[in-house]
Amino acid sequence: MSYSQMAQLDILNLVRGIENEAEYISFRDMLAHYFADKAQKAIDAMWDKGTINEQVVEQWGNERMRTPYRHAVHRS
């Protein structure tokens, strides 16, 4: 069994105990904070290695990353 599968089973077992909206919100926020912290650590490591810097972040802010959509041909 992979770690991902084990984690999924653990999560399913944890959510069985959620009995009300407040517990659900608390659980959801806990997961959000966990993944936000993980992302921040990864970003900090990239910054420390010099992979990203102020110039790169500024460049990202100026990028236009919209998906080019093709106009669908209307069929009658």
Instruction: Quick: pLDDT tens for 31-45.
Output: 999 999 999 999 999
Whether 54 maps to a domain, the answer reads yes
Average pLDDT, the chain: 91
Give the domain range for residue 44: 3-62
Q: Distance between CA 27 and CA 56 in Å, rounded?
A: 35
Q: Distance between CA 58 and CA 25 in Å, rounded?
A: 34
Whether 15 maps to a domain, the answer reads yes
Whether 74 maps to a domain, the answer reads no
Whether 46 maps to a domain, the answer reads yes
Number of domains in the chain: 1
Whether 69 maps to a domain, the answer reads no
Whether 76 maps to a domain, the answer reads no
pTM: 0.66
Whether 56 maps to a domain, the answer reads yes
Q: Distance between CA 48 and CA 37 in Å, rounded?
A: 16
Q: CB–CB of 27/13 below 8 Å?
A: no
Phi, psi at 40, each rounded to 5°: -65, -40
Whether 71 maps to a domain, the answer reads no
